[in-house]
Chains A and B, each alone.
Chain A
Amino acid sequence: MLNNHAKLERNAIGFVIAIILVGSIGGLVEIAPLFTIDDTVEDAPDMRLYTPLELAGRNIYIREGCYACHSQMVRTLRDEVERYGPYSLAVESKYDHPMLWGSKRTGPDLARIGNKYSDQWHTAHLINPRDVVPESVMPRYAWLMRSELQYDDMDLHLKAMRNVGVPYTNEMIENAVADTLRQATPDANNAFDVFERYGDETNLRYFDGDRRAVTEMDALVAYLQILGRLTDAAGAMPQETAKISDEEPGQ
């Protein structure tokens, strides 16, 4: 072996090729099948798409780095299921480009936060978390209330999402800009068209309570309120299955 290696050491290109070959195996074996094995992602025929407003809110969540403190992935552990709700399924983040599973819980998991609190609660909490939860260390996001949402290009965003595989229809793309306004302005003309395109479950509200403008706060709260509610697949899974592990739940 040492002799062969001594030969390899004399050949720069050969060495590089060896590195590439040896290094590629792991990734190929672990990643490629995830795209081809069918039961990697469950079926969920009721899966909704993000509305343009929710997508804009998601982009604010990304921009502000909420994922640095919040996960969106309830693990198959008993205490997590009891604390947060049904464990997360792969299908729930099927349209998440990129996923926001997170890696650190400075704050609680948010995968099931939708409908847990009122819009007013979220708005007050984001303006100053310590008004609502005195010991919180979450940053204030008061300026979101002051920034108007920029949404004149939401059609381009939906198109880009379609290019990476999310099934937005032409109609959705054409109406993306108007739908953003409509969802946050229930009194607007044709506001109910949003239901036709995105389903009756869609929230149509003045999310931040301010009727004068569509703010970034509107978009972010709209996003938070549908987290975990794009499909009912997780709730329908029997949660007391073998999958839940209570490895040392510390009775």
Chain B
Amino acid sequence: MISQLTKAEREWAIILSAALAIGGLIVGAAGRNDLLGIHGFMVFVIGFGLLFLIVKDLYRPDPSPKRVTRYFDDPTKAGVILCMLWVIFGTFIGDWVAWLLVYPDATFDAGWSSFGRLRPVHTTSVIFGFGGNALIATSFHVLQRTTRARLVDQLSPWIVVIGFNIFCLLAVSGYVMGVTASKEYAEPEWYADIFLTIIWVLYFSIYLRTLRRRKEPHIYVANWYFMAFIVIVAILHIVNSLAVPVSLGHAKSYSLFSGVQDAMTQWWYGHNAVAFFLTAGFLGMLYYYLPKRAGRPIFSYRLSIISFWGITFLYMWAGSHHLHYTALPQWVQTLGMTFSIVLLVPSWASAGNALLTLRGAWDKVRDDATLRFMMVAAVFYGLSTFEGSFLAIRPVNSLSHYTDWTVGHVHAGALGWVAMITFGSIYTLVPWLWNRERMYSPRLIEVHFWLALTGAIIYVFAMWNSGIIQGLMWRAYNENGTLAYSFIESVAAMKPYYVGRAIGGFLFFAGSVIGLYNIWKTIHSPDLARAAAPDLAPIPHAAGSQTVPAAE
């Protein structure tokens, strides 16, 4: 991959790696009496390692100047592999955490491995490690195909992929050491937040600059979603992470906001992290890989427009449904509930658009597990957005909030939608990226599909049961008009469902391992190779503005 860089670019890479290492050293020195020092040192080692890798290949011959006539897919390849590694790691921790709720002592007598520290390791690994790498990798791929332009720059896409993964590492290693800002899905501390902001701005600039090079007059739908994802996540991240560090040598910071304003800001962030990270970005994936794999154009351009702007506008109002019956002023709760219900319209417009795109391709869905992954994803997307709007209704929320029902809802979306659309897209993408006729084993895709689907269904049903039972027990009264159950009775009642969830989770995890194996074998099976990679030039013109551009 380094051989694809010119000598000058390699020199730049060396300078940047050295800067990273020095930056790490400075932070390490400033934070030597604090956990911050360990992070500084970690960054130093990473910077140094990168430096070593590049210097080793510094004097390789330059790549052929013809490289600019081809798409630039190396960062995407790296992103796909990293994405699979993160999902395996993240669901492994998820399953561990799930077992901890059954056997609370199934861990070590030390802080790093206790539930409260591992849980954010799970959420960050799957949302950012798995989801984030999937988004970055596929967005670079889709962007080039739908604009018929090569990515700008040689180095900056690499910086985004590597930098983003350094951020994930800082986050996850921070939690186990006890560094956390405690804001859900925004737990990393101030220095990691600043680092991510820099990486994100770079990501945005690559996207925008490549778009401006496009040879297609119109910007394809998938890119609308990827852009919304990049831009809005930047806004959310910056505002929600505002904080004052204890000192420049401390990892710890105090959030700028407090109490009710902090709660509202946090859930404005939290809900829209779901909306723009876990929904918009993945809709971008759906709008490209699903029609490509099905060989059918998107069902309705008009529906795409309605759902895109509906989602972009409405979601941002919905965060307060996480705060029903709390000390948040009631008018904000009411707004949150109202907008959450209306949100169902654009959500179902997207899901419907995806499913109707499959009209006439249902025989393919039956035979092709990859396409089936994407079909099931669209179905889960429809179901969990329906459930979401339902849970946002105040009286329903009075039962469901604080219970496992929320966790069940989250995982219907996470396992059923996010992960399934990602696996479908990756199985579509991998043979293209590595120039293979097909995946190594279609049967293993089939196995993965059924493991993932069974796992997800077991998980979600277990949590529906436990959540509703919990909610009902907490509010049950006996004949004397006093509360019928103590809290611990509700804890004990959860046990069978927690076992079920952990088993479902294991199936899902096992599926991901099989997925990585299959990808690995695909890459390392030269006999699957097909003719040369498609160049930029001979890509046929797409007819009409919003049909899927034909090139892979």
Q: Mark A172-203, 1 if CB is under 8 A from B, else 0.
A: 00000000000000000000000000000000
Q: Interface range on chain A: under 10, 10 to 19, 20 to 34, or 35 or more?
A: 35 or more
A26 adjacent to B260 (CB under 8 Å):
no
Assess whether A133 is interfacial by the CB under 8 Å rule: yes
Known: A93-B327, A98-B266. A83 touches B258 (CB 8 A): no
Contact A41 B259 (CB under 8 A): yes
Q: Which residues of B contact A137 (CB under 8 A)?
A: 100-102, 104, 491
B260 close to A41 (CB less than 8 A)? yes
Contact of B208 among A2, A16, A95, A163 (CB under 8 A): A16
A100 with B182: in contact, given A10-B219, A29-B317, A75-B326 (CB under 8 Å)? yes
Taking CB atoms and an 8 Å cut-off, the chain B residues in 103-122 that contact chain A are: 104-105, 107, 109-111, 114-117, 119-120
Tell me the count of chain B residues lying within 8 A, CB to CB, of chain A.
106
Inter-chain residue pair count (beta carbon < 8 A): 281
The answer for the CA separation of A105 and B405 in the assembled complex, in Å, is 11
Known contacts A65-B115, A90-B259, A99-B259: A73-B327 contact under CB 8 Å? yes
Interface segment among B43-51, B395-403, B417-425, B429-437: the answer is B395-403
Q: Which of these binds chain A: B63-71, B308-316, B450-458, B527-535?
A: B308-316
- Choose among B184, B254, B399 the residue that contacts A160 (Cβ–Cβ < 8 A): B254
Of B175, B228, B398, most buried by chain A (CB within 10 Å of CB) is B398
Q: Is the CB of A136 within 8 A of B402?
A: no
Asked if A139 and B107 sit within 8 Å, CB to CB, the answer is: yes
Contact B218 A12 (CB under 8 A): no
Closest CB in chain A relative to B131 CB, distance in Å: 19
Q: How far is the CB of A83 from chain B (nearest CB, A)?
A: 6
Cβ contacts under 8 Å, B253 to chain A: 160
Give the contacting residue for B398; candidates A63, A138, A247; CB below 8 A: A247
On chain A, the residues within 8 Å of B163 by CB distance are none
Q: In this assembly, does A157 line the interface, its C-beta being within 8 Å of a C-beta of chain B?
A: yes
Cβ-based interface call for A238 (8 A):
no
CB proximity of A26 to chain B, nearest CB, Å? 3
Contact B258 A24, beta carbon cutoff 8 Å: no
Q: Could you tell me if B235 and A97 are in contact, using CB atoms closer than 8 angstroms?
A: no
Q: Are the CB atoms of A31 and B492 closer together than 8 Å? A: no
Query: Among A32-40, A116-124, A207-215, A220-228, which stretch is in contact with chain B?
Result: A32-40
Which residue of the partner chain A has the closest CB to B270?
A: A103
A245 and B261 in contact, given A9-B545, A27-B268, A164-B256 (Cβ under 8 angstroms): no
Is B116 in contact with A83, judged by CB distance below 8 angstroms? no
* In the complex, per-residue mask of B92-104: 1 if CB is within 8 Å of any chain A CB, else 0: 0000000011101
| Interface core residue of B100, B245, B302, B326 (most chain A CB under 10 Å) | B326
Return B136 CB to nearest CB of chain A, in Å.
18
Contact (Cβ within 8 A) B212 A23: no
Q: Tell me, yes or no, whether B322 is within 8 Å of chain A by CB.
A: yes
Q: Let me know if B356 is at the binding interface, CB within 8 A.
A: no
Which 3 A-B residue pairings sit nearest by Cβ, starting from the closest? A65-B116, A26-B316, A26-B317
Which residues of A does B touch, CB under 8 Å?
A: 1-2, 5-6, 9-10, 12-13, 15-16, 19-20, 22-27, 29-31, 34-35, 37, 39-41, 59, 62-69, 71, 73, 75-77, 79-80, 82-83, 87-108, 129-130, 133, 135-143, 153, 156-157, 159-161, 163-166, 245, 247-251
A-B contacts, 9 of them at CB < 8 A, read A20-B235, A24-B235, A40-B329, A68-B119, A95-B259, A98-B181, A99-B258, A139-B114, A140-B109
**Known interface pairs A30-B332, A140-B109, A249-B477; 18 further A-B residue pairs with C-beta atoms within 8 A, sorted by A's residue number:** A15-B219, A19-B312, A20-B231, A23-B312, A64-B111, A68-B116, A73-B327, A98-B258, A99-B262, A107-B487, A108-B487, A136-B104, A139-B100, A143-B110, A153-B250, A160-B244, A163-B244, A164-B254
